[in-house]
Structure 1
């Protein structure tokens, strides 16, 4: 939001200004200073700013009167009118602490420095010289500097007295690690905020360097106590920051300081949901930053679960309910932080998404709330209009909070009762009076509370009139409170065709080992979910089928009940799950095997509108960029989840009719290419890191002189849902030259190991399955040949040794990913091999013999591969791919045509997919336009049927009475081409 400008100074505050100016002039007059220090000698802009601050803040004028010298020095420095640079505030404090000789002197200097900075920050905030972000950043930087520099000073003194703490295991000196939590951790401290801290140290041991050693725990406890005293104790100079240590394990009753291992064990064994919520904002604010980073990495799995964690919403909801009870009990509705529509609700909205999705979407693993909101919009979790309202409402509340606290440097979020303070708050927020300010405030609180309820509120809270949870009529049946006859009668009345089987499925789930082993909270979630499931299941035309397909998923996720919460919290996602499972057992099986796919059901627009090719590749690159380069396990999981998620999207889009057949294949092929591109990059990085870079023939270092060539369906841009990848690896390095690394190997070995690495990344089974099955049999010499060929060796083989069927396969070959230079060279070789002039009679003979051999081995035996007279009878199966008149016949005709005529018509080699090669044959006048159209339509019809059957987990076989016209036409054109 734009900065709220100060309103015209109300008459009720003018007396504050005149009194403050008079008292300040009197205080300045008592100093040994030039007359220029008088207010009357100040620049007009600064005088007006001073008047506004006097009207708004008792704190600033009290400090100015208490120490006018300090205030004048601050004004003369120019810092009231400018922003501080990075590190400038810390540098000032470091200079102020130079030569400090005692803990009492440390406390005095810290407090004087804090008061000086607090005056500057309030001055700039009240006069709108700093926006909200700058104010929060300055306050947080102030806290960081005070904590860290005080800790360093105290650590040095305690080491001189008690020795240096040393780790028992590492033998290295140890330092205190100070974690800042809450607003301090997020860099969003307010004008009069507590600082929430947790103290830690890396490992146990004892101090060295003195006669009487201390245990590390005792040493750091003393250091922590000294640090708290230096910051928190109120002296004649005030305090630095109020310190709150209650967020540490076990709260006030726990040890003040914990070792890393003790913290990790606590959060692993006993960490509670609210502690996860708090730990989102944890940041190292003092001590050893390297060790602190290690600590946060250790605790990350506690905060961010790798699976979708919708149980976080329950926890946040419970926390909010407790807060609301406290607000009502203490009459704190006027609290702009904790009351309805307050600051805490915006924080809860953002952190709900962080806790649920942050384990998988690393972009959400950040601390500042406004940046999290921006990410929620950018990643599609919340609409732009919602984020805009939350942004503006939050900033309005934070400006209000600062106004409340600027008055007296007092920690409060309560709206004032007194007329004077109300006038001050309205004045600072830019309103002419309290009523207009309060109306604006309530508008924002109402909007925030509405959005909060959309995210956090229970799906059962649909108004006060709602008495029963959705699906409550099914709860007795699920809880086995009905006898079998009554249960079956209820199922039959609801539309189940086979109620007894449905009841047995439900009983089987209820009595399964997975359900019996569930903990109490998990069983409660299951009991809340199943009635909703049944309520939505009976809305389908075939509820028996839906239930049969969905219950295995429920059983699969029973021990990870957060997924049940996801579906309970999101009725739309449950509806989409049932629709997809009803349409496809393949989808039902995929989601049961990989429940993390449930995340894809949350966003209907994204589910049924897959991104384009470039967006797909960019999304995968972005996801992998967030993973440390050395974390191969996580990189592999990201690749697999990406493939699973987008494969589900394309299947859902095909079922919904939003993606036609040709686009389905395009999309699945783009997906494979995007993944192969990143797999090649990972494999290259790993192999060169180990062996160094290979060499080219001219002695220069290779720069990924390697390509992955796709054959078959991936080469022809015709991938299906379960397709494997036919690949060939080609390099253009020197096979004899050694690599330039610490463990040099020759180029042939290097590229072989690179190829092995690629295959490993693609095929190894992880918890998320494998990426793709890979078939390398189309490489030169098949399984007997080298895994990776040089471009020269590939060309020699194709020229001298390859069979005609291998040249047929080359028609559909294209470079998928890799070096553009090598790709262009491969295309030249391919064009040269395929563009030869051939003996057409011999070519027809070889193509026909290969096709007959395939029909005999792979076609339907009972119809002689679709050539017998009974091939068109309903009871005789028709293999869409292998039988006569099917897919392979069309593919072979296209390949024959390309080999026969491309020496005269090189444009036939431009594309590798059958549809566009057929277009080329029509344009060249080699096939009649109507015959080309017939072949294209038959080909698309066959493939569409094969896709549908794959989604039904059925083989690509239909009854012999189907596609009669198409098959006969294809067989006729086959014969007309002279093929037999």
Structure 2
């Protein structure tokens, strides 16, 4: 009987060493089997180092009890205490695998397989395993020998002598040796069949990929040929009997259990097809009938048993089909669909615990890697590995996957596979579900080196790695570039000089020699940057060619690439980030404005992706004002402040232009914006908001430099025209009025001097020469026009409008809106002008006639000489002025009675007029269509030419680019002009009726 004090001491030591049931462990240590070693501290420490000390101790007692006599028992325990390598290996296995403990209890001398600790024992291959299985002559002895070999693999694994990749490779090599031994047994049992045929066993799946699990189906395909002189039909029948026998030897359950199922369902036609085929029959099937997933499966095909020469011939014959599978129609979509189908078939109760098939599981890594291999491996033989981690390493080395992404996927895959191994090792059962029992999770966590809080740490690490896998799987597996690369014709995935020249000519490049020079500059060399460019360029060339000027697109791409050549994120963004590459190609080949903006701010390329750059969604006025005012606050002086504001404006103009181009042209993953009116509103609003923020920043900079925090007079800027209507185009001036009001106690003359100085300095700063699109502030809509003062007090405006206001000024004020400065002053200005622009009881007949006279005069005098009135977007027939004057006349006449008409926005007012019954829905739609189309033409001209214009370009290439923006493909420029004339002619008919009363 143990003394209480000693029992308490042992109990505490057992707890410290990780035993969860110290009372039971104490009883086991007191057993007769461990009488000679129970007090040895080395043993207790070694048990505490295992995944499950309780399990290890229980297994050790069973093993000691199973020894044949005291001498054998003594030999085991003495060796265990004396030899640390054996102690770590044996106890490590016993603490991780109840199934291998059962095997040792049944075969108590097999522990000696763990004694050897020589260098050649550390990483055995197929030959070593074949020697270990050499004495097996029947299924039972083969199972015993197999478990003995498995024992040594598990020992190296749990002790950390081998890593995950080495362990998986050893398991595959053991499976190879086992298949060979099973086939030898089958041949011995049927020598006549063996004499008739050559039979090759092709490993597929994880065995073929040299990355097998502890317990897994071993996927195989059989190929046979008749030996010289034998009948082919009889040879195939003989091979079928041998193959079936070999499968039974491995798969059937005996008194020693089973090894693993041999699964031949990956063969042509699956379980419905013949088990064995000749090489020619295999080839015919794959050429005519095979589905996409069957080529994906062949990635891992490897001859492992039987006639290896025939097996190598099989792999070599089918390899060209594998590496051209990506050219099949819908290839990428088919692979993606298959992955989704796998996830959909997981029972809902298991999906959160599914380590292999669930979201963020092992399959996500494997499918992403295999898809990248099949798409890019056609032209890059370095990617053609059947081993996931080797293929991932090659993909990262070749630039197809980012280094960081590759490293994260590698780490996650190793962790998840290690979890899977330890789960399966416990009972040697085929499972991929993480157990729910806390004791099981504790054992798995400890086996992976997580010792502080094994359960919590295991779940945290598992979820962290699964999250990384899920994110990167979505990024790599579904990125649009893959589908585009897959669609390239054979030979296009890598550009030789001659192939590139031929393709450039076929794609419509006007100067293939210059294009070739750009390609050479971008893609030559052995750098990682050049490797990524070689992946991108074949696809980009096609996207550039889908524009009116592919040569300009390629030239612009070279310029951007040169500017960002040393920026690590640039090419990575194009390769990995959603539709960034296609967006960039569309933007660079759409005209001059967006590329010119990008050349001056190349870092804005980041906006084309889906990440932290914010994408192409325009930023709101408040956000823009906050950023510009913060930049102004950091600047040293007004000149630097306005330069900073211009920098923000440049970037945001590029964002807006890029969004416009992508929305208008569309991409393979993002169709063209169906609602062109909404797109026009978005662009007009974005440019107007950006102008507001720029003026607010400039005003702040000027006031701060000249007067500190407070100007002697309150000051507000009123937006007019398209600016006030939130309808600015890329080349629009900013029409404004300036209003001020002296602060209390400030002399009026001093206040006027300050206000005029502010306006003069703002205009000077904004007019400093720059390569950016100009921001012209136009105050010509002020009282008395160019002859009147630039700035007036609120009282002066009130006096002028009361005594001298003309009807055109009331019309102009319809679009007045406060945009910057003192909000209260701006609000009072709007209250002042509301009675003018929405006159009570509407306009009199004389005022209506005056507006009509002004419109007719404008049409006759302001249309540029020689301009085609049917194609002038602003002043021409059915153009912007026609629609806007018609809407504004309705606002002046009915605004007092219809609140919906009291808006500065043309389309909004048109919709309100229709709702109020002032015009029919058909007429409203006709005017709206014309206004939207004319606005798009003006935007298109600016995007294409880089300068403002109100009519279609005369040059063929520029005209084609405008057509492409408006949705007209090559050869349809005439249709575009005809459609424009037709749309505006209809609008003019409505204008004649509504505006002129015809």
TM-score, length of structure 1 as denominator length? 0.46
- Larger-gyration structure (1/2): 2
- TM-score, structure 2 as length reference: 0.45
